């Protein structure tokens, strides 16, 4: 067993792009689920429309980088409005079903052969990230220390991305301390009480949906730029569930919950993979139980079991406060 490789790979992943876009997606979910109590199971849909807004804007419409980013953000806002209008007046589980359905609709439409010219069909889009990397002030080379060593492009993306994470967290922190944020939390606790105080509950929920969706959209940009490509099947429902796991792991309705949760989740994810691969290679796990091709499968089983155990035994996660956690259906 080469523990050096295991820890180096795990350490490298802690700050890498996967943890970054998962954190942004989870910060958005935190606004929806943690602070407002909205059951959004289609967060990946916001990531997808943002990524496709950027990709289609640059490659198909021929816009510049920043106009395409704006297009992606506009699409995320539009998606939030489209989702919110029919469902925010309904019970929470309706929003869950509609959002998960719409995120699948987005993926299926994007990968359809009919839109091959625009979205690239099932093979997706490439060649839109140059606008971002051409702004890179870092010269060629490796940056970082210890396990956190990245090339100049990745280092630039991570700098920009983690800055976005800090700014987003700061924004959420300030908003949730404001009277506006207190109304959101009140809606989470008792919607009818808030309505009886004369607040426009649906309006507040809609604002929350838009804000969380835009934060998720930032994650979509990072996802697309980090891979330099958009693969429609990367935007399946599993990503939403990972974001939920990360959020609950860190602690819902906590500023650092989604960020720490994402880092820990990705860390465990990569650690498990590397550990299992090394253990198989060293012969600690016999081939009859698991071969190296099945590492991903076993990891999937463990993630599912972990999510169940976490929700049953420690639903407040690492930082959470049980009192803030009114995880009840509305």
Rounded to an integer, what is the distance from CA 58 to the centroid of its chain? 23
86 near another protein (CB under 8 A): yes
Measured CA to CA, the distance from residue 283 to residue 281 in angstroms comes to 5
The alpha helices in 178-200, defined as continuous H runs, are 179-189, 191-196
Measured CA to CA, the distance from residue 71 to residue 221 in angstroms comes to 11
Q: Is 211 exposed, middle or buried (0-12, 13-18, 19+ CB in 10 A)?
A: buried
90 near another protein (CB under 8 A): yes
Specify whether the CB–CB gap between 25 and 239 falls below 8 A. Answer: yes
Among 70, 78, 109, 118, binds another protein (CB under 8 A): 109
Range 147-176, binding another protein (CB under 8 A) = none
305 near another protein (CB under 8 A): yes
264 near another protein (CB under 8 A): no
Tell me the CA distances in angstroms from 251 to 34, 81, 164, 183, 300, one per residue in order: 9, 27, 20, 20, 22
Interacting residues of 225 by C-beta distance below 8 A, sequence separation 6+ = 54, 129, 132, 157
193 near another protein (CB under 8 A): no
Nearest distance from residue 142's CB to another protein, in Å? Answer: 36
Among 62, 113, 141, 146, binds another protein (CB under 8 A): 113
Q: CB under 8 A: which stretch of 51-59, 96-104, 126-134, 213-221 binds another protein?
A: 96-104
283 near another protein (CB under 8 A): no
Nearest distance from residue 275's CB to another protein, in Å? Answer: 17
Closest among 249, 251, 247, 217 to 235, alpha carbons compared: 217
Query: How many amino acids of this chain bind another protein (CB under 8 A)?
Result: 47
Residue 153's CB is within 10 A of a number of other CB atoms, namely 17
Q: CB under 8 A: which stretch of 1-9, 81-89, 215-223, 257-265 binds another protein?
A: 81-89
Q: CB under 8 A: which stretch of 106-114, 159-167, 182-190, 212-220 binds another protein?
A: 106-114
101 near another protein (CB under 8 A): yes
Measured CA to CA, the distance from residue 217 to residue 68 in angstroms comes to 12
Measured CA to CA, the distance from residue 220 to residue 87 in angstroms comes to 24
At residue 244, φ and ψ (nearest 5 deg) are: -65, -45
Nearest distance from residue 256's CB to another protein, in Å? Answer: 20
301 near another protein (CB under 8 A): yes
241 near another protein (CB under 8 A): yes
Strand 142-145, strand 148-151: pairing: antiparallel
Q: CB under 8 A: which stretch of 60-68, 73-81, 269-277, 302-310 binds another protein?
A: 302-310
Nearest distance from residue 237's CB to another protein, in Å? Answer: 9
Among 194, 248, 253, 276, binds another protein (CB under 8 A): 248
Nearest distance from residue 147's CB to another protein, in Å? Answer: 28
Binding stretches for another protein (CB under 8 A): 39, 85-94, 96-98, 100-102, 104-105, 108-109, 112-114, 122, 241, 244, 248, 294, 297-298, 300-301, 303-309, 311-312, 315, 326-329
């Amino acid at each position: 067993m080469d523990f050096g490789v295991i820890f180096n790979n795990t350490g490298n992943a802690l700050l890498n792009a996967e943890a970054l876009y998962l954190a942004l997606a989870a910060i958005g979910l935190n606004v929806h689920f943690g602070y407002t109590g909205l059951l959004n199971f289609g967060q990946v849909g916001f990531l997808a429309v943002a990524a496709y807004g950027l990709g289609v804007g640059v490659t198909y419409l021929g816009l510049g980088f920043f106009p395409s980013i704006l297009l992606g953000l506009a699409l995320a806002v539009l998606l939030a409005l489209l989702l919110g209008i029919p469902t925010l007046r309904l019970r929470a589980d309706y929003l869950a079903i509609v959002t998960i359905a719409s995120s699948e609709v987005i993926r299926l439409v994007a990968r359809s052969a009919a839109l091959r010219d625009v979205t690239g069909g099932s093979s997706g889009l490439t060649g839109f990230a140059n606008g971002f990397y051409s702004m890179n002030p870092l010269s060629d080379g490796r940056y970082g220390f210890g396990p956190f060593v990245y090339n100049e492009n990745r280092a630039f993306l991570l700098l920009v991305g983690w800055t976005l994470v800090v700014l987003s967290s700061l924004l959420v922190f300030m908003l949730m301390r404001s009277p506006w944020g207190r109304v959101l939390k009140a809606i989470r606790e008792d919607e009818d009480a808030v309505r009886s105080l004369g607040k426009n509950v649906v309006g507040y929920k809609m604002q929350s949906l838009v804000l969380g969706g835009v934060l998720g959209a930032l994650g979509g940009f990072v996802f697309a730029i980090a891979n330099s490509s958009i693969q429609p099947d990367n935007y399946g429902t599993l990503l939403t569930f990972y974001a939920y796991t990360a959020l609950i792991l860190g602690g819902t309705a906590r500023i650092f919950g989604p960020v720490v949760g994402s880092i820990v989740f990705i860390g465990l994810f990569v650690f498990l993979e590397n550990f299992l691969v090394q253990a198989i290679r060293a012969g600690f796990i016999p081939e009859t139980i698991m071969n190296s091709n099945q590492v991903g499968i076993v990891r999937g089983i463990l993630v599912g079991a972990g999510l169940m155990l976490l929700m049953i035994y420690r639903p407040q996660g690492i930082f959470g406060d049980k009192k803030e956690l009114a995880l009840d259906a509305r």
